[in-house]
Amino acid sequence: MKKKKSLVIFSGGQDSTTCLIYAKNKYEKVYAITFNYGQRHGQEINVAVNLTKIIGIKKHKIIDISNLNKLFLSSLTNKNIFFEEKKSLNTNKTFVPGRNILFLVLSSIYAYNNNIQDIIIGVNQVDFSGYPDCRSNFIKSMNKTIKLGMNSSFSLKMPLINLNKSEIWALSDFYNQSSLIFSSTLTCYNGIIGKGCFQCKACKIRNLGYKNWKLNKNLFMKSLKLKIKL
């Protein structure tokens, strides 16, 4: 039996689109929320709008928090900063401090107003490093804080948290949507929709995961089923 409602924090990238597809098959009613935080590739918003229509999500909210890019310079929000990783710190130049904190708080307010209990975020701590706000312990901490602050029973869901990229490809394939992920999502740091630029870190991880998954789909489907309830 499907659960009633969920809200997916949705960027239009591979991970959040896979989460949206997952939620569509798990819940009776799915909402999506997308944030304009001044990201350097404005087409992310258009990609997100297009994908919600294709997947059949009728409730899609876009929130403007573009002033965030005035507080901190990141290569995701400033075209003058290259994508090379920082050498002296444990974070990447693509890290936007506080972004996921804001996303979760604002999503919780929207969920509260629409009587939504489950909020889904596509964070992953297997393939990516240098993003402290993508760790399971951070999300769990935020879940506790939001529940206390709003006196509510919100549940922050992280279906991809322990999956590698090949298993994430397997998850979209389980729902017969891997072709959509491959052709229509925007994960590339250089703003190339679909297969990407093959050069940036995001594309390298995505495409290596895709290649490995294609070589042994059965293996990754088995490992996926051990980690997530389908």
Residue 190: exposure state from Cβ atoms within 10 A (0-12, 13-18, ≥19) = middle
Residue pLDDT, tens place only, 158-190: 999 999 999 999 999 999 999 999 999 999 988
Structure tokens, 160: 């991809």
Low-confidence ranges of the chain (pLDDT < 70): 40-41, 68-96, 127-130
Sequence spans of domains, the chain: 3-163
Q: pTM for the whole thing?
A: 0.89
CB atoms inside a 10 Å sphere around CB 42: 11
Residues whose CB falls within 8 Å of the CB of residue 96, separated by 6 or more in sequence, listed in order = 37, 68, 72, 74, 76, 77
CATH of segment(s) 3-163 = 3.40.50.620
What's the rounded Cα separation, in Å, for the pair 123 and 161?
6
Q: How many CB atoms lie within 10 A of CB 147?
A: 15
Q: What is the pLDDT of residues 36-50, one digit of tens each?
A: 987 766 788 999 999
